[in-house]
Amino acid sequence: MQTLTNELGPSLDLSEEHVMLRDAVRDFAQREIVPVAAEFDESGDFPLETVRKMGEMGLMGIEIPEEYGGAGMDTIAYVLAMIEIAKADASHSTVVSVNNSLVNHGLLKFGTEAQRQQFLVPLASGEKIGAYSLTEPMSGSDAGTMRTRAELNDAGTHYIINGVKSWVTSGPVADTVILFTMTEPEKRHKGITAFVVDAELPGFIRGKKEPKLGIRASATSELIFEDYACPVEHILGEPGLGFKIAMTLLDAGRIGIAAQSVGIAEAAYEASLAYAREREAFGQPIGGFQLIQGKIADMKTRLEAARLLTYNAALAKMRSAETGERYTTAASMAKLFASETAMFITHQAVQIHGGMGYSKEMPVERYFRDAKITEIYEGTSEIQRVVIARSELDLR
Shortest Cβ 324–ligand CAA spacing (Å):
11
Q: Given the DSSP bridges, would you call strands 192-198 and 176-182 parallel, antiparallel or unpaired?
A: antiparallel
Shortest Cβ 18–ligand CAA spacing (Å):
26
By beta-carbon proximity to ligand CAA, the closer residue of 247 and 308 is 247
By beta-carbon proximity to ligand CAA, the closer residue of 26 and 209 is 209
By beta-carbon proximity to ligand CAA, the closer residue of 19 and 389 is 389
Burial class (CB in 10 A: 0-12, 13-18, 19+), 171: buried
Shortest Cβ 234–ligand CAA spacing (Å):
20
* Rounded-to-integer distance, Cα 148 and Cα 191, Å: 12
Contact 159, 183 (CB under 8 A): yes
Residue 133 β-bridge partners: 179
By beta-carbon proximity to ligand CAA, the closer residue of 109 and 244 is 244
By beta-carbon proximity to ligand CAA, the closer residue of 243 and 337 is 243
Interface residues with ligand CAA (CB under 6 A) are: 98, 132, 134-135, 141, 143-144, 167-169, 189, 243-244, 247-248, 250-251, 326, 328, 377-379, 383, 386-387, 396
| Residue 375 among the catalytic residues | no
For 136, which DSSP code? B
Q: Given the DSSP bridges, would you call strands 280-281 and 204-209 parallel, antiparallel or unpaired?
A: unpaired
Shortest Cβ 95–ligand CAA spacing (Å):
10
By beta-carbon proximity to ligand CAA, the closer residue of 248 and 310 is 248
Shortest Cβ 326–ligand CAA spacing (Å):
6
User: Taken in order 256, 257, 260, 261, is the CA torsion positive or negative?
Assistant: negative
DSSP 223-241: EEEEEEEEEGGGEES-TT-
By beta-carbon proximity to ligand CAA, the closer residue of 55 and 253 is 253
* Encoded amino acid at 275, one letter: Y
Which of 188, 185, 143 lies closest to 166 in space, CA to CA?
A: 143
Shortest Cβ 12–ligand CAA spacing (Å):
25
* Rounded-to-integer distance, Cα 376 and Cα 382, Å: 9
Shortest Cβ 301–ligand CAA spacing (Å):
28
**∠ CA 140-144-145 to the nearest 5 degrees?**
75
By beta-carbon proximity to ligand CAA, the closer residue of 225 and 243 is 243
**∠ CA 295-301-305 to the nearest 5 degrees?**
145
Shortest Cβ 153–ligand CAA spacing (Å):
28
Which of 43, 41, 27, 22 lies closest to 92 in space, CA to CA?
A: 41
Q: Phi and psi at residue 141, in whole multiples of 5°?
A: -60, -35
Q: For 282-295, give one letter per residue: b (16+ CB within 10 A) or e.
A: eeeebbeeeebeeb
Helix segments in the chain, DSSP class H: 16-28, 34-43, 48-56, 75-88, 90-97, 105-110, 113-115, 121-124, 242-278, 290-323, 328-353, 364-373, 381-392
Which position among 266, 378, 382, 392 bears the catalytic label? 378
Catalytic site residues?
378
